[in-house]
Amino acid sequence: MMGWESIDTHAKQWIKEAGEKIRASFHQTLNIQTKSNANDLVTNIDQEVEQFFISKIKEAFPDHRIFGEEGFGDKIEDLAGVVWFLDPIDGTMNFIHQQRNFAISIGIFEDGIGKIGLVYDVVHDELYHAISGKGAFMNDEQIPSLKETSVNEAIIALNATWVMENKRIDHKLLIPLAKDARGTRSYGSAALELVYVAAGRMDAYISLRLSPWDYAGGVVIVEELGGFATNLKGEKLDYLTKDSVFVAKPGLHETILKEYLKEGKW
């Protein structure tokens, strides 16, 4: 078995190459299609970037499996061995509409345990990365560990969807938290929002029904810094199917869970 550092070196090289491809695509006409609903978008670039990673991973690490958003990877029904959670473009709507506020997200797990997290903000050339136990970085800069904070001093990443009538949850449940927090933000890319928590720019992130490739990479980075990542019930995240996601600084995670989330049916 090759060491994690070597896997990390390969992954970083590929993520930079993929970023170059995405930047080059800004001058091309995109082929845009919808998936599960009219706002769930995919482009030829999402698909090409996923296929690029899969060919690289399969060539270098034939025994690794890939759980990718666009479905070109493996059918993953268990987490045995090394699994790459791959989102070639997290924040596809932003990619299409804004050409910013999206990221490539990669989480590399062994037997269900996060080992490497990589989230690449392609437009800003900012690579957030961590190898479990070895610290977390933004490019070459080490990110300091997360410190405790209170709800009324916290900026919480929360999409307006969850505080207005919606088909997934009782929208009234999260209103008190949005009111009590210092502020709320929504960037439209789960991976970026997770690394913004890691970097201390926000204090917590809440979303419903994300897929493992949206959060696997970011969670490794947040946890490396002492942050907590669970679903909205406070349980361990599911990496085989969709789950709600609640990530926060230490202390704040416990407070929000106890005082704002415990009544909800998530």
What residue ranges bind Ca ion (CB under 5 A)?
69, 87, 89-90
Q: Select 1 or 164, whichever has its Cβ closest to ligand 2AM.
A: 164
Q: What is the 3-state secondary structure (H, E, C) of the chain?
A: CCCHHHHHHHHHHHHHHHHHHHHHHCCCCCCEEECCCCCCEEEHHHHHHHHHHHHHHHHHCCCCEEEECCCCCCCCCCCCCEEEEEEEEECHHHHHHHCCCCEEEEEEEECCEEEEEEEEECCCCEEEEEECCCCEEECCEECCCCCCCCHHHCEEEECHHHHCCCCCCCHHHHHHHHHHCCEEECCCCHHHHHHHHHCCCCCEEEEEEECHHHHHHHHHHHHHCCCEEECCCCCCCCCCCCEEEEEECCCHHHHHHHHHHCCCCC
The interface with ligand 2AM within residues 148-167 (CB under 6 A) comprises 159
The binder of ligand 2AM chosen from 138, 190, 195, 225 (CB under 6 A): 190
The binder of ligand 2AM chosen from 86, 104, 177, 210 (CB under 6 A): 210
Q: Select 14 or 215, whichever has its Cβ closest to ligand 2AM.
A: 215
36 binds ligand 2AM (CB under 6 A): yes
Least distance CB 209 / ligand 2AM (angstroms): 6
121 binds ligand 2AM (CB under 6 A): no
Mask for 40-69, x = binds ligand 2AM (CB under 6 A): x----------------------------x
The binder of ligand 2AM chosen from 214, 223, 224, 243 (CB under 6 A): 214
Least distance CB 48 / ligand 2AM (angstroms): 15
- Contact footprint for ligand 2AM (CB under 6 A): 36, 39-40, 69, 87, 90-92, 159, 188-190, 210-211, 214
